[in-house]
Every structure is written in structure tokens, then in C-alpha cells.
Amino acid sequence: MKKVLFLVQGEGRGHLTQAISMSQTLRDSGYQVVAVLVGGAVELPIPSFFYNQIQAPVEAFSSPNLVFNTEGKVDFKKTIVHHLPNTIHFRKSLKQINQAVKRYQPDLIVNFYEILGGLYNWLYRPPVPMVCVGHQYLFFHSSFPIPKKGYIDRFLVNFNSRLTALGAKKMLALSFDALSDQPSKQLFVVSPLLRQDIHSLVISQKEYILIYLNHPALYGQILEWHLKYPEVPLHCFWSKSDARPEEKIDETLTLYRLDGTKFLEKLSGCKALVTTAGFESVCEAMYLDKPVMVVPIHYEQACNAADTERVGAGIAADRFDLSVLTDYLPQHQPIGETFRQWCREGKQQWLAHFESVV
């Protein structure tokens, strides 16, 4: 039985759910996930759904995370200034990763876009191959629709992606659809990682719109629209640290603490999804034939938004004005079956790539 160790960038929900899906696939194929190391801000706890579903020992370590301004937008300058004094903590994290690799002696390290994973691989040169997994690696593909604006942001995102993959044998780029591999760049296109829970959901269409917010400051825009259109039912998941499991604001607006299982249940029955252009949430909506409105809050998500529109999954907006979505819905064409077929091809793709480096 081959042993695998995960390194996971723990900010948001996407990389965590990708790790859960990958762990399920690997176990079903005779691998053992011996440990999962999750990087992120020390003050932000790892969501309980991850502990419940990953089925492996979990360790948290301090890692760089994005810093947002009061409007919920990413501030790259503040992010850099915030982390400069914390470099000593990151050195400790690198040692923690090294100790875990020595302790568990894995045959393979899978890095889900954790920057310290790449730096560890470069500095410590472990005798274990590393494969990197993430949608962000698709930005290196020659056919990807890169937004024309934001050259500096594009450089920073791609530089960060390079750091996460230092010394990696392969970069597995998760994609909404099939694109050609580019081996000269160590870039291989694979289908998204979706949790097995999604396959058993019963799809329905009720009248509510589902919202996922990865930053509490964005809630003000939701409330502003809700007060103008109180007749539209809204269910909103948000990442506020002290949020209640469920809080009913009024008859048509309910807030939920981040919960992976409950989110999928609500997604299966919603009319549409509104989110900040996170790759994983859009994939889940596409799989369940739910149109999406994406509101990017940084360059990486702007790339996701452009890709979302390219494949016909939904529409992009500059802010959480849900009227953009309601105007779009009558013209949306379902693409779920094509996407589901692409996802069904994924398991053999991933395993073949792992076998080639182990």
C-alpha cells in the first residue's frame, strides 16, 4: 500500500474539498493517506467538516494568507507587509513539514497549492516526489483566457504558483473542460476534484438563490440588495468566525456557518449560485446544472470568472448585484451532462499521473 502525504492551502473552502475528494479516490484505489498538513492563518481554525471527512491525521501550520481591505477585496500590499514580520513562524512551519515527512515516510507528496510546500520541496530536497494540484496552474496554459487588465496582479499570481510548485514532478491543472497537455511546462490538464457526496444528491429547483461568501465584509452588499428585493429568498453561507450554525435574518434571508455537507444540500435545490468566483464552488454548481453568478475579488478569481463565462456556466459581475443574475437566468443553457462526463474521466487520469512519478 503506497503512502501519500497531503499539503493543503487552507484558505477558503476549495483546496480543502479538493483534498477530501482526492483522499476518497486514493483510498478506493489502494493508497493510504497517512497525514494532512493544512497551512493558513493561525487565528483561523480549520473547518470541522474537513476533520470529519478527510479520514486522516490533520496538522495545522502557519502559512501566508491573503489580507483583505474593509470592502472584502484582496490588498496585495497589506498582504506583503503583514507577513514580513512572521517569517520566523514560517521557518518553523517548514521544519514541521520536514518532521512530518520523516515521521510518516510517504511515497508521494501531493501539494494542493500550499506555498510552503513548494519552498519545503526546494529547500529540503526530500527523497519523495511531489505532485501539485490546483486550478491556478491552468493560467500557464497557452489556451487559457487571461484577462487583459492587471498585468502586475497576473505576475504576482503566477509567481506564487511557481513557488508552490518548486521542484514538483508535475503540475496537475484542474479545468472546467478538456485542454491539451503541455509536458514541456510539466503541465497536465485534469478534470475537477469533486467530493463523492455530490453524486448521491437529488437535484431539484426551488425558488431560493444560494450565496457563498469567503469574506464577511461582502455581506453588506448582499443585505443592500435584499432590502430592495425582499421577495426573493436567499440562503447565504459565510466564513465569519463566530457565525451561528444558522441565523434567520427575516422571512427570506438566512445565514449559515460554513458547512460542506449542508452547502451541497442547499446547492442541489437552489435556483442559482452566487459566489466569489472560487473554482470549486463553480464546479459543484456546474455538476448539478445550476447557473452561477461570479463576483471576483482578486485577479485569480477574475481568471476564474473569465473561464466561467467561456464554458457557459454563468455570468460575471463587479459586485453582488443579484439583478445581474436574475436578468441572465432566462438565457442560461444547461451544460451539466457534458461537464459530468468530463468529471467521470478524472479518476483514471489522476491515478495514472501519480503512478508515473511514484
Give me the average pLDDT of each 10-residue run along the chain (358 residues). 95 86 93 96 80 93 70 56 64 95 98 96 96 95 83 84 96 94 96 88 95 89 97 93 90 92 94 91 94 91 91 94 97 90 88 93
| pLDDT at 64 (0 to 100) | 79
Residues 6+ apart with CB under 8 A from 163: 115, 118, 119
130 grid coordinates: 511531489
- List the beta bridge partners of residue 33: 4
Cell of 335: 451544460
Burial class (CB in 10 A: 0-12, 13-18, 19+), 150: middle
Which candidate, 88, 12, 73, places its Cα nearest to that of 44?
12
Residue 346 pLDDT: 84
Angle between helices 151-164 and 115-124 in degrees, nearest 10: 50
N-to-C CA span, the chain: 12
Task: List beta partners, residue 173.
Answer: 134, 189
Taking residue 282's Cβ as centre, other Cβ atoms within 10 Å add up to 26
Q: What is the pLDDT of residue 358?
A: 87
In this prediction, residue 77 carries a pLDDT of: 59
Contact call for residues 20 and 50 (beta carbons, < 8 A): yes
CA dihedral 262, 268, 269, 272 (to 10 degrees): 110
Structural contact between residues 104 and 5, judged by C-beta atoms closer than 8 angstroms:
yes
166 CB burial (10 A radius; 0-12, 13-18, 19+) = middle
What per-residue confidence (pLDDT) applies to 215?
A: 82
**Per-residue pLDDT at 125:** 96
